[in-house]
């Protein structure tokens, strides 16, 4: 049975993250967004709260909390700005949990422990200039050469590209096998050599306070022990990572809806038109009511997905549904918030314009809304069915909401 009451530990987490973000990030996020640069030391500040390893077991350097707690932290981070939640999505959801789920004990000790402790920042390299939703269309290759692999190719739209220390990278080891010929590799910037480089993408429409870019690999030589899982398991690994990433994106979008709601209610009480507060007009109330309904629905969806993950149960459908519904709802909430603010909403004098620009990105990355719709339709029709994977997400030994 799903328990919707937060534990004392989770209440403490929410209060801590909320207060910390309000003090350390909220006063500076507007300027960072306008300049198009991250707030200095953001990852280090998140490390002070233990967030880089929030749901990684203590024996691997983490805080040992559960997946609902990860969702709650993402919600609080995106309440302030999407760029802050993005750090948790890529570092925890896409990179660290991928190594936790698929890595050997040796790999966990070497790579996961420093990631969980916040000593290294992790990123995820799947998308390419010509391969997004069509993962099989990627062109990066990995060739076995004795005790090494030689990687060539390029990646695009990598959050944290210029800041990350450890990358989870996907490349073909056997192009003829298509999806079954993709493999996953752990690449560390420090020993990748001169053939490895990253770059930033400037002038993004949204999430301007977050670093995003790409990477190139020219005969990058990495040890064979950096192969994650087995050759040919890269597609399954990528999809399992996206399950975790989509969960964090959906939870974060829930926080953005909450931010839009709070900002809209505050302004609707203060702004006067035709002799009364605009919040007294029914069409303004309709937009606010929609935010209320979509916030509650989004929160329930990510709680359900997190509860399943706590029990080591595959939650592909639930995570995809959470991501789809919450991100679309967040974009609607931001659009409504701009409408409520009127002309002021169309400027950066108030935060709702930033909310709108940020919200659109979440609808697209880690699976567009069209992809999410196809996933739900295929599940409903019985075309798609979850099959056992070699390595299901392990439940937590230290802490679990499962009764």
Sorted by where each starts, the structural domains of the chain and their CATH numbers stand as 8-120 (1.10.540.10), 123-234 (2.40.110.10), 242-381 (1.20.140.10)
389 band by pLDDT with thresholds 50, 70 and 90? low
- pLDDT score for 323: 98
- pLDDT score for 396: 56
181 band by pLDDT with thresholds 50, 70 and 90? very high
For residue 357, is pLDDT > 60?
yes
- pLDDT score for 148: 97
Answer yes or no: are the C-beta atoms of 260 and 345 closer than 8 Å. no
Catalytic residue numbers, as ranges = 366
Q: What is the mean pLDDT of residues 21-46?
A: 96
Q: Per residue in 107-142, pLDDT tens?
A: 999 999 999 999 999 999 999 999 888 888 899 999
Q: Per residue in 363-375, pLDDT tens?
A: 999 999 999 999 9
Burial 15-32 (b: 16+ CB within 10 A, else e): eebbebbeebbbeebbeb
- pLDDT score for 51: 97
pTM reported for the whole predicted model: 0.94
Q: Per residue in 255-268, pLDDT tens?
A: 999 999 999 999 99
- pLDDT score for 400: 34
Q: Per residue in 272-302, pLDDT tens?
A: 999 999 999 999 999 999 999 999 999 999 9
């Amino acid at each position: 049975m799903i328990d919707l009451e937060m534990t004392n530990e989770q209440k403490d987490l929410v209060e801590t993250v909320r207060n910390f973000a309000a003090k350390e990030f909220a006063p500076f996020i507007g300027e960072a967004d306008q300049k198009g640069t991250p707030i200095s030391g953001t990852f280090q500040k998140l490390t002070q709260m233990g967030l880089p390893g929030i749901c990684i077991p203590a024996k691997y350097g983490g805080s040992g909390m559960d997946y609902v707690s990860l969702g709650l932290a993402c919600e609080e981070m995106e309440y302030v700005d999407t760029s802050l939640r993005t750090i948790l999505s890529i570092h925890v959801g896409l990179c660290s949990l991928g190594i936790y789920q698929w890595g050997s004990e040796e790999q966990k000790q070497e790579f996961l422990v420093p990631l969980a402790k916040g000593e290294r920042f992790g990123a995820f390299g799947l998308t390419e200039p010509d391969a997004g939703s069509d993962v099989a269309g990627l062109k990066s290759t990995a060739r076995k050469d004795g005790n090494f692999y030689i990687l060539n190719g390029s990646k695009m739209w990598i959050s944290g590209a210029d800041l990350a220390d450890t990358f989870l990278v996907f490349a073909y080891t056997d192009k003829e096998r298509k999806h079954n010929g993709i493999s996953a590799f752990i690449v560390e910037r420090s020993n990748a050599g001169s053939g490895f480089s990253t770059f930033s993408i400037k002038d993004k429409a949204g999430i301007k306070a977050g670093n995003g870019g790409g990477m190139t690999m020219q005969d990058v030589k990495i040890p064979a022990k950096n192969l994650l899982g087995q050759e040919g398991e890269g597609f399954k690994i990528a999809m399992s990572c996206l399950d975790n990433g989509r969960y964090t994106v959906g939870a974060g979008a829930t926080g953005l809806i909450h931010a839009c709601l709070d900002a809209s209610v505050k302004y609707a009480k203060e702004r006067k038109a035709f002799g009364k507060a605009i919040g007294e007009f029914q069409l303004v109330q309709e937009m606010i009511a929609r935010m209320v309904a979509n916030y509650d629905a989004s929160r329930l969806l990510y709680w359900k997905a997190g509860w399943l993950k706590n029990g080591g149960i595959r939650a592909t459908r639930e995570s995809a549904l959470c991501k789809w519904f919450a991100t679309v709802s967040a974009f609607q909430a931001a659009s409504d918030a701009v409408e409520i603010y009127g002309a002021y909403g169309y400027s950066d004098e108030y935060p709702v314009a930033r909310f709108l620009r940020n919200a659109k990105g979440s609808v697209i990355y880690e699976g567009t809304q069209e992809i999410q719709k196809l996933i739900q339709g295929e599940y409903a029709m019985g075309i798609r069915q979850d099959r056992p994977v070699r390595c299901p997400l392990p439940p937590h030994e230290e802490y679990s909401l499962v009764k």
